[in-house]
Amino acid sequence: MASSSTSDRKTRLAADLEEVRHHLVVAVRRVCPPSIAAEAEDLVQRAIIKLMKSEKLSEGKPAASASYLWRVAYTAVIDEIRRRDRRREVPLIEDSAAAIPTTSQPDPEREAASRGIGDAIRDCLGEMVGTRRRAVTLHLIGHTVPEIARLLDRKLKQTDNLVYRGMADLRRCLIGKGVTP
């Protein structure tokens, strides 16, 4: 008897999840701008994860209201837009790709200068304390301070200080090596 009630609950939960997913698909497609429309399914998945984390869609509780689902879908889309703005992801369009000059051989002087700057940065990072080095490295590859705090499992203010002081150390070291902006 217990196995049939468990089976019934699982069936109800699956049906509720499918209904919620359908509402989220509709909501995401309604608010999604054309620039990220191709990723609508990913946004729906992120919205479902948000729902699961907020425990609004857990066993034994009624399904979330339509207005709440719309709000979750809307925030998932806004979060993606903000993430793209932070990362400055700009897709190449066929017309703009033609405007990018192509050269068969890279400029040797520029290549050598770039290699020298890269070596100087690596040397300076190698001289830093481990926690600052990790924070600055993550910052240089494009992570935000909250993301770095989460990745390093540190407090936000502590991470902000690590990045700020680490970048100051990096600037001083690079200037000492003769590398200036």
Same domain, 125 and 68: no
Same domain, 23 and 74: yes
Domain span including residue 73 = 10-87
pTM over 0.75: no
Residue 159 has pLDDT above 90, yes or no: yes
Residue 123: CATH number of its domain: 1.10.10.10
Residue 101 covered by a domain: no
Q: What six digits make up the tokens of 125?
A: 């990072």
Same domain, 83 and 147: no
- Of 93, 58, 54, the C-alpha closest to 76 is 54
Same domain, 155 and 113: yes
Residue 104 covered by a domain: no
Task: Give the angle subtended at the CA of 147 by the CAs of 143 and 148, to the nearest 5°.
Answer: 75
Number of domain units in the chain: 2
Same domain, 166 and 125: yes
Name the H helices within 32-155: 40-53, 66-87, 94-99, 108-127, 130-140, 145-152
Q: What integer pLDDT is reported at residue 62 of this predicted model?
A: 54
Same domain, 118 and 168: yes
What is the C-alpha to C-alpha distance for residues 45 and 73, in angstroms, rounded to an integer?
10
Q: For residue range 23-70, what is the model confidence (pLDDT) as tens digits?
A: 888 888 888 888 888 888 888 888 888 877 776 545 555 556 778 888
Do the beta carbons of residue 140 and residue 162 sit within 8 Å?
no
Higher per-residue pLDDT: 83 or 16:
83
Q: What integer pLDDT is reported at residue 104 of this predicted model?
A: 62
Same domain, 83 and 144: no
What is the C-alpha to C-alpha distance for residues 165 and 119, in angstroms, rounded to an integer?
21
Q: Could you identify the residue written with the tokens 């203010």?
A: 157
Residue 32: CATH number of its domain: 1.10.1740
Do the beta carbons of residue 7 and residue 26 sit within 8 Å?
no
